[in-house]
Amino acid sequence: MRETVRREVIYLWYYFDVQLRQIFRYWVWGMVLGSAVSVFLKDRIHNTFRSLGEKRLGAFGIVIASALGIASPLCMYGTIPIAASFSKSGIQDDWLAAFMMSSILLNPQLIIYSAALGREALLVRGVSCFVCGVVAGLLIRMFYRRKSFFDFHGFEEPVSHDTDPDILLRFFKNLGRNIKATGPYFLIGIFLSAVFQRYVPQDAMTSLFGGNEAWGVLMAATIGVPLYACGGGTIPLLQAWLSDGMSLGSAAAFMITGSATKITNLGAVKIVLGVKRFLLYFVYVMSFAFLTGLVTNIMIL
């Protein structure tokens, strides 16, 4: 019995160590870039978005807003308060929807993490998140042009923690908070991927999430809702699943629903949207993820 346990620990450590070596540098560079953008560029990005309110860009402003959302280093919980301040400064709801949607789905740090999945996965994630923001903005422009979609009552602009007068010290403090926030999820993700690689047969992943089948994409979109806790933590899992036969479309669907429906942040989204519009948000995310997965599989295969 003791020998069996020891052998299993050795196997798990082998899988853990292999994937840690493969993905560790992406996590490190992702944190460095994320902290650099937060400290040196975040205010410039947000002020650029605020300045759009003074221009008559029409629907084209939605495209710019979605791109700026991806450039913003904020996660979902940080995006909502800053969006409240944008709303107070006069930014219209369709632009806000595009900015918030793409910002929730992707940020500079997560882009570096996603590079560990390969060029195709990175491209699919980047394009799909940008398009998801644009489509969200266009839908708000079409159906909520004469009424408000968001209710930011009670939300104030978040207090910045990057206030140290020494800019380098400010950066390293931000990096330290970043490591503390993402490190545990990253290690848990690698451990779970090691467990999957050791105990879940490769053909099981292929039969469930592989091929060009709609069922696999739908399943991946669905499990993204409860399983996704942190972008850095899910990258090791996705890397293992893709190597075991998960289709790229299923991975894309998982990444979209997971990012947009993180359980820890859904409460804030519900407060901003209300019950009816929250349900519309959920249906939109699931539908877009499902369609993205199907289109990705068709184009790749």
Interval 9-36: pLDDT, tens: 888 898 889 888 999 999 999 999 999 9
Residue with token string 């949207």: 273
**161's tokens:** 């923690």
pLDDT value at residue 36: 92
Tell whether the model's pLDDT for residue 217 goes beyond 80: yes
34/266 Cα distance (integer angstroms) = 23
> Does the reported pTM lie above 0.85?
yes
Write the pLDDT tens digit of every residue in 234-281.
Answer: 888 888 888 888 899 999 999 999 888 877 677 778 888 989 999 999
DSSP state of 59: T
Residue with token string 């939605």: 62
pLDDT value at residue 212: 61
Across the range 142-155, mean pLDDT stands at: 84
Summary mean pLDDT of the chain: 86
What percent of the residues of the chain are helix, what percent strand, and what percent coil, each to the nearest 5?
80, 0, 20
Across the range 72-95, mean pLDDT stands at: 83
**142's tokens:** 């079409």
Residue with token string 């019995």: 1
237/111 Cα distance (integer angstroms) = 16
Across the range 38-58, mean pLDDT stands at: 85
Residue 226: pLDDT band by 50, 70, 90 thresholds? low
Cα-based angle 117, 297, 74 (whole degrees, multiple of 5):
45
Across the range 199-218, mean pLDDT stands at: 75
Across the range 61-88, mean pLDDT stands at: 86
Across the range 109-123, mean pLDDT stands at: 93
Residue 72 CB neighbour total at 10 angstroms: 26
pLDDT value at residue 240: 86
Residue 111: pLDDT band by 50, 70, 90 thresholds? very high
DSSP string, 122-166: HHHHHHHHHHHHHHHHHHHHHHSTTS-----TT--PPPPS---SS
Q: Are 272 and 150 in contact (CB under 8 A)?
A: yes
pLDDT value at residue 251: 92
Q: Which residues contact 298 (CB under 8 A, 6 or more apart)?
A: 212, 249
Write the pLDDT tens digit of every residue in 150-179.
Answer: 888 767 666 667 777 888 999 999 899 989
pLDDT value at residue 258: 86
**64's tokens:** 């710019």
pLDDT value at residue 279: 94
pLDDT value at residue 263: 73
**72's tokens:** 């913003």
